[in-house]
Chain A
Amino acid sequence: MSALVPLLVTLPLLGAGVALIFGRRRRVQVGVSIVTLTLVMVIAAVLLYAVDSSGQALAVSVGGWPVPFGIVLYVDRLAALLVVISAIVLLAVLLFSVGQGAADGDDDTPVTIFHPTYLILAAGIFNAFIAGDLFNLYVGFEILLVASYVLITLGSTESRIRTGVVYIVVSLVSSILFLAAIAAIYGALGTVNIAQLAERMTELPQSTQLVLHLMLLLAFSIKAAVFPLSFWLPDSYPTAPAPVTAVFAGLLTKVGVYAMIRTETQIFRDNDVNTLLLIVALATMIVGVLGALAQAELKRILSFTLVSHVGYLVFGLAIATPLALGATIYYMVHHIIVQTTLFLAVGLIERRAGSTSILKVKGLMRAAPVIAVLYFIPAINLGGIPPFSGFIGKFALFNAAATVGTPLMYVLIVGGVVTSLLTLYTLMRAWNLAFWREDDDHADEPAVVERIEYLGDAPAADEQGDRRVIPRMMTATTAGMVAVTIALTVFAGPLYQLCASIGDALLTPVTLVQLEQEAQQ
């Protein structure tokens, strides 16, 4: 079974190579990408089943080096679950972009590098999730970041270069910080293996631990877009092509959050910065959603809500009880899927209406009822309306916080509720303007414009120009993702149970002996 683990990374890399060879033949490229990601999804599902049913994690020491020295790939329930979810998201977004590309005449002038880069991005994400040592985590981050640099400047238009530069420079700084933190940790403890780090870390004085801890957290917070290190996100994501934004929004920040979870629960168990994290989480939630309120452009609104909902994840992580960690994992799964779906739905709106500005788009309810449904369901899900998974996740988080019951927890709960309501308000305002406003009705226009006058200064999107026909494949993919979001609600019981068991296991870290045993099996 453990022979399957390295395939999660090598298959996408191999697929990227093959796709690059067939750069001029779009159909082959598409076939290779779809087959590769489907295979990875199946493998990840098998691994999740195996790990979950046996209750024992899989560890593979690559290259046959003995455990603490070589590279260890480590798949426990958390890693397997996240790999499955990201494989689903990556596959769906790939199908969406294939539908979009087919309609845009990719057959004549294929963008040679999109598919290979996309697969490399996938390899980086999977590598980061299954990394068993800090340096491999760094390499995973770099793989996915370099691929994301290419994807975010795809086509290298003026606006994409402008925003891409900011994104790239900020990511580079966080990578250097991460590398310096790894060097400092190696200098202090003489290892980069996470299990061994966890054992040796307790021997260090608290002040040294705190420095190392904050260095790592700083690097990961930039990647996870935690306030005040989230400034780069809302400006750089919206200009990328719709499918790219969708997959970035769903996955890239979550890789940062995943790294934070590993850091907090395994490496620095004795070193407590939870109060700081709680305050930062509150600020992230509130500032993020207030930013969304001031935006008129749908992709920017969603980018700001993305920042604000990372706050919930940090909140759950900072409560640091098994109950809260389980809720955090569930919320993370929910948010990956729902945020991606919303961005795909906005991609459909952009194509149908020629713009993503809610001041310009109108009358979509009548003109495109399917898109209306595909936007509405994930929107109220993100806003936390029962019975959807957003409500379940938030309820579980608040419940875990109330169980701890300190005054700060109640402040955070209030902040979370307010954020949830404001998210709902922002998304429903977009719904009212873009979908419910009649296309031919100009009578109420002055009144509407007056009421939302403050939005007039908000930055506009790149104009798409004319309205175009939407390929059936794009709609079908988005509908499929909406179905997955509903499945998160329908199968909330088993999924939540899995997440809860992950939360329980997270606080009892893996020992080196365990890791060696698992690697030998």
Chain B
Amino acid sequence: MTVSLVLVIIMGVLFAAGVYAMLERSLTRVLIGFLLLGNAANLFLLIVMGRPGVAPFYGAADPSEMSDPLPQALTLTAIVITFAVSAFLLALIYRSWQLGQADTVHDDEADLAVRARTEVDEEQMDDETSIEDEDDDATTDFIGTDTAPITVLHHRDLEGIRDDAPTDRPGASAGESRDRDGGEAR
């Protein structure tokens, strides 16, 4: 099977860039990373098709000159799936932004609990060593870095933005529905 070296290199770059972008904490970058990875995988499917040939229509040419139609069908399916999933991810990012937490990936609750506990232990154990503080900037520590490429604007920041989309924080709406339930039960 002969393949184009250029395509292989492009695929490699896409995979690398996609993985790099996906490692970010910002959801928008994760989305970009996913799109790159998806394109890389689709390109991979096209590469394994081998040398491109005549369009594979029945009777259009000698079968040996045609390109392999199966990877094309697979790629089309995969593109549709990637498209649908990215639309869903966008909706999710929008919702995450709407809830006012910016568009970042949050930590696992159990991890947070464990971390809180180890921090307490460390404070008890070593309060003399101050070397760790100097190192803090140098380490690639993701904890507490809620960086987002988009700035969250609320209605108080800008008059043109109305932030009245329904949210379900514990508060008014939850209480109302519960009251209604209670009323029905009675």
Chain A residues at the B interface, C-beta cutoff of 8 Å: 69, 103-105, 108, 135, 139, 142, 146, 149-150, 153, 155-158, 161-162, 164-166, 168-169, 172-173, 175-176, 179-180, 182-184, 186-187, 192, 231, 234-235, 291, 294-295, 300, 457-459, 465-466, 468-469
Contacts and interface: CB of A to CB of B under 8 A. Distances in A.
Contacts of A183: 41, 44-45, 47-48, 71, 74
B27 to A, nearest CB: 7
B117 to A, nearest CB: 5
A300 B185 contact: no
Instruction: Give the interface size class of chain B.
Output: 35 or more
- B1, B30, B38, B45, most chain A CB atoms within 10 A: B45
B172 interface: no
Contacts of A108: 180
A184 B64 CA distance: 22
15 contacts: A105-B184, A142-B81, A146-B88, A150-B88, A161-B99, A168-B88, A179-B42, A183-B47, A186-B48, A186-B74, A187-B48, A457-B117, A458-B113, A459-B109, A459-B112
B116 interface: yes
A459 B110 contact: yes
B181 to A, nearest CB: 6
Nearest to A179: B41
A327 B84 CA distance: 39
Interface string B67-107: 00011001001100100110011001001100101000110
Contact of A169 (B22, B44, B71, B101): B22
A395 B71 CA distance: 46
B38 A176 contact: yes
Nearest to A150: B88
B155 interface: no
A164 B92 contact: yes
B108 interface: yes
Interface string B106-130: 1011101110110000000000000
A168 B71 CA distance: 26
B74 A182 contact: yes
Contacts of B151: none
A109 to B, nearest CB: 8
A187 B1 contact: yes
A465 B37 CA distance: 43
Given A69-B70, A465-B178, A161 B22 contact: no
Interface string B157-186: 000000000001100000001101100110
Contacts of A150: 88
A289 to B, nearest CB: 15
Given A165-B96, A187-B48, A176 B181 contact: no
A457 B116 contact: yes
Which 6 pairs of residues, A with B, have the shortest CB-CB distance?
A: A187-B48, A459-B109, A183-B44, A179-B41, A235-B108, A183-B45
A139 B47 CA distance: 20
A168 B113 contact: no
Contact of A172 (B34, B112, B117): B34
A153 B95 CA distance: 10
A187 B152 CA distance: 46
Given A155-B168, A294-B110, 15 more contacts: A149-B88, A150-B88, A153-B95, A161-B92, A162-B96, A162-B101, A168-B89, A172-B85, A173-B22, A176-B41, A179-B42, A180-B44, A184-B48, A186-B45, A186-B48
Given A184-B44, A186-B71, A157 B92 contact: no
Nearest to A460: B109
B168 A157 contact: yes
Given A161-B95, A169-B22, A169-B30, A135 B77 contact: yes
Contacts of A459: 109-110, 112-113
- B1, B92, B106, B109, most chain A CB atoms within 10 A: B109
A457 B71 CA distance: 51
Contact of A168 (B74, B92, B110): B92
B97 to A, nearest CB: 10
Contact of A468 (B47, B85, B96, B181): B181
